[in-house]
Structure 1
């Protein structure tokens, strides 16, 4: 049995959607700290450039995606907004090359929600005990309204200083993030996280 964090309820939700949950925890606990997660069981996802995701969130309003899991690959500057499984296929009729569907048969790389974050799969909004998935209808409407928006380049790191006076580091997450602040550099045995951001900044 691989070590599981009982307090990380979002991680349990993700792992339990895998045919072999132990495999997910094994991957999270190894040196890379990321796991392959299957779409189409607990969730589908809509993939778009991070800049486009920011435009969509601003268009919909932060409450529309509050507690909605949003994953990002910081290397490719893409974001993945989670929706109900089986509901993302509507984007097949949405004629825009930069927006596509992650559904049954597809997999995403993700860090453990409350664990050390990898650039290849970092949580902008991590799943939690109170998660809710985005409305595909509202997301489609917003994608249509923001269709003329150019994707923004990946921004610098957030940079919000850690509130612990003994630590001399800052939030290293993307400036697009809308969850808790977190450094992605290990501080001893811990990764610091602190005050939530209510809106994208």
Structure 2
């Protein structure tokens, strides 16, 4: 799948040695790589109870949100946002991965036996979710959840 290879190169570009990263990633039986956040992207990590409805709202207003991960057991959802966002984010219950942190990333276009997977895989062009739109989507999703309870 050509798009997956472009996404792999884009993701690996943040690694200290991108070529070695790709080679190791392709051989890893778990299909994951540990990549530094804060270079090409940061990640905002929401509890999936809020993350899934937020993604639903975002998908209604954007043709293509940035990459979105879900972790083991669907406990947390990670939205890829522009670098620097993590350092400025003020949100209760929202974890951040920015400069100085590393995240586990599954190989795009291939199922990962590790449990972490893409809800929206990267397209390789650098598309990221606008943090302002993400925040508005989170508020709308939270209001919907409050209305259910």
TM-score, normalising length from structure 2?
0.81
CA distance in 1, matches of 2:81, 2:15: 17
Q: Structure 1 residues 117, 126: CA separation in 2 closer, same or farther (over 3 Å shift)?
A: same
Q: Is 2:25 aligned against 1:13? A: no
Matches within 5 A, 1:14-93: 14-25=11-22, 26-64=24-62, 66-75=64-73, 77-91=75-89, 93=90
Unaligned stretches of 5+ residues in structure 2: none
After superposing the two structures, state which structure 1 stretch, 111-120 or 31-40, moved more: 111-120
Bigger Rg, structure 1 or 2: 1
Q: Structure 1 residues 39, 7: CA separation in 2 closer, same or farther (over 3 Å shift)?
A: closer
After superposing the two structures, state which structure 1 stretch, 78-87 or 6-15, moved more: 6-15
Q: 1:89-122 CA distances to partner (integer Å, 9 max, x unpaired)?
A: 332x22x22x111111111111110233234421
Q: Does the aligned pair in 1 maintain the 2:30–2:114 contact within 8 Å?
A: no
Q: 1:40-84 CA distances to partner (integer Å, 9 max, x unpaired)?
A: 011001101223112112333434262510111133521100001
Over 4 Å off, 4+ runs = none
Unaligned stretches of 5+ residues in structure 1: 151-201
Task: Pick the structure with more helix per residue.
Answer: 2
Q: Does the aligned pair in 1 maintain the 2:68–2:118 contact within 8 Å?
A: yes
Q: Does the aligned pair in 2 maintain the 1:110–1:120 contact within 8 Å?
A: no
How many residues of Structure 1 are paired with residues of Structure 2 in the alignment? 143
